Structure 1
Amino acid sequence: MDQDFLIQEHKQIESQKAARQFLNQKQRKPLWREYLETAVIAVVAALLLRLFVVSAYRVNSGSMADSLLEGDYIFVNKLAYEYGGKTPQLGDIIVFKYPNNPDKDFIKRVVALPGQTVQIADKVMYVDGQVAPVPEGTKFTDQKVLPGDLSFRDNFGPFTIPSGEYFVLGDNRDDSRDSRFWGTVPSANILGKAVFVYWSWQPDKDVPGWGFPYVIDAIQWIGYGLYNFPSHTRWDRIGTAL
């Protein structure tokens, strides 16, 4: 009797194990499907980050040298001024839509805030009558001082900044088109605050062209990139905080 009971209990246990294995096999997804779902989640997460949190930009001019160099690739925090009443502060490097052509994105440094009065006299900048600090990385490349009736580059103002707008300059003060020439930046045009350089590539005039039918150009690009990657990457700039 005891032996029959043990045999019956053993059969019951084996039956339960078989049922569990069957359910596990039935519920287990194919490996390709798991990879596909993971890839889809990663792509969606990246798109959401790109749309709402951070954007990547390439610096296409030397107007912000030496803080930013042509060929720098930067991350921009799109939420920096979105919540908690946060607004751009003096010294922030911002990306914004160019007021005269919103299809173009510019990058400059905030040097004066709404309500402040700006004046530049012989290259020296004054804010509310006080000499403004010169941000690290700012440079002057032309010793000549241009009179105000010839150019606003070295002599400008005084000018009081309207409410909700910002006065921006390039750190390369003698080679930058900025608020001295085309006016202030409305807060509605600001896209975000530059955070850091995530990659930097030394510009090269010998870079291959790109045109139809693209196949040959694509091969040339791949070869060019593989060959020049170590020497043209500015390794010392990667991770530079802004």
Structure 2
Amino acid sequence: MSELIEMKEKTVKKPWYREYGEALLVAAVLALIIRTFVVQAFKIPSGSMEDTLLIGDHLLVSKFVYGSRIPFTDQFVLPLTTPERGDIIVFEFPEDADKSWWQRRDFIKRIIGLPGDLVEVRDKQVYVNGSLYHIPQEIHKEHEIIQPGSRPHPQDRRDFMAPVRVPAGHYFVMGDNRDRSYDSRFWGFVQREQIKGKAFIKYWSWDAERMLPRWSRIGRLIE
């Protein structure tokens, strides 16, 4: 009994700041693991995906559905599926590949062409492997048809784009707001390694003009 009392007396309680510090460290590590391998939050800053995604929409992106990427490598582990046509993906902007990591921007677009597909644009209409590819989410806000050669290259690709073959391991992406989207028509393809994940739900939406939440959009799945 005396030995037990002596052991309790020797036990020193951690200072409160150390306990809080350790708890914060554990929380930070867990948050980093979740952000890297499970899910990440993003905010929509532009109108290129209207009306599917509006400026001020906040969404969650699944990092594991295509396989979690091992940090600082191009390796993916435990993929549940592969990117499919129609998926809305978040990816590192290809033209930022040579920039420092803190300068790289994330883009969000919809997959139109898969590896090996032949993609063409004629009179604003998209053709995949020779067939018209139309989705209900696409919109056109400009009535003008930009003819080939009428604008500085590559701006004239908006409404007319010669057929291009999507390379292996790459994807052709476009915004649903077709006339106001800076996408694969202008800068090329997205590499598989640049894809961060698939957008799947809007967890918050804020209308900055009205200074009000868009309640009808909150909690809606992204299609």
Question: In the aligned structure 1, how far is the partner of 2:139 from the partner of 2:9?
Answer: 67
Structure-2 residue corresponding to 1:111: 112
Alignment partner of 1:182 is 2:187: yes
TM-score, with structure 1 as normaliser: 0.72
Change (3 A) 1:26 1:197: farther
Change (3 A) 1:45 1:126: same
Question: In the aligned structure 1, how far is the partner of 2:208 from the partner of 2:57?
Answer: 9
Give the superposition deviation at 1:36.
Answer: 6.9
Question: In the aligned structure 2, how far is the partner of 1:24 from the partner of 1:137?
Answer: 67
Alignment partner of 1:93 is 2:78: no
Matches within 5 A, 1:18-29: none
Matching residue within 36, 51, 54 for 2:39: 54
Structure-2 residue corresponding to 1:210: none
Post-superposition CA distance 1:100-123 (Å, at most 9, x none): 113111110001101010111111
Uncovered stretches (5+) of structure 1, i.e. residues with no partner = 1-15, 205-227
Post-superposition CA distance 1:120-158 (Å, at most 9, x none): 111111111111131x32211111211122311111121
User: Which has the larger displacement, 43-52 or 164-173?
Assistant: 43-52
The structure with the larger Rg is 1
Structure-2 residue corresponding to 1:146: 146
Question: In the aligned structure 2, how far is the partner of 1:88 from the partner of 1:197?
Answer: 20
Backbone CA RMSD of aligned residues = 2.7
Which has a greater percent of strand? Answer: 2
Secondary structure at 2:95 match in 1 = coil
Structure-2 residue corresponding to 1:167: 172
Structure-2 residue corresponding to 1:220: none
Structure-1 residue corresponding to 2:74: none
Give the superposition deviation at 1:52.
Answer: 2.1
Matching residue within 189, 192, 204 for 1:199: 204
Question: In the aligned structure 1, how far is the partner of 2:33 from the partner of 2:91?
Answer: 20
Uncovered stretches (5+) of structure 2, i.e. residues with no partner = 68-76, 98-103, 151-155
Which has a greater percent of helix? Answer: 1
Structure-2 residue corresponding to 1:124: 125
Give the superposition deviation at 1:203.
Answer: 2.6
Matching residue within 46, 52, 55 for 1:67: 52
TM-score, with structure 2 as normaliser: 0.77
Post-superposition CA distance 1:68-111 (Å, at most 9, x none): 11111111111221245532101111111111113111110001
Structure-1 residue corresponding to 2:216: 236
What residue identity is the alignment partner of 1:188? Answer: E
Question: In the aligned structure 2, how far is the partner of 1:44 from the partner of 1:177?
Answer: 36
- How many residues are matched? 200
What residue identity is the alignment partner of 1:130? Answer: S
Structure-2 residue corresponding to 1:211: none
Question: In the aligned structure 1, how far is the partner of 2:9 from the partner of 2:65?
Answer: 48
Structure-1 residue corresponding to 2:100: none
Question: In the aligned structure 1, how far is the partner of 2:55 from the partner of 2:10?
Answer: 56
Post-superposition CA distance 1:211-235 (Å, at most 9, x none): xxxxxxxxxxxxxxxxx8xx52111
Give the superposition deviation at 1:38.
Answer: 5.6
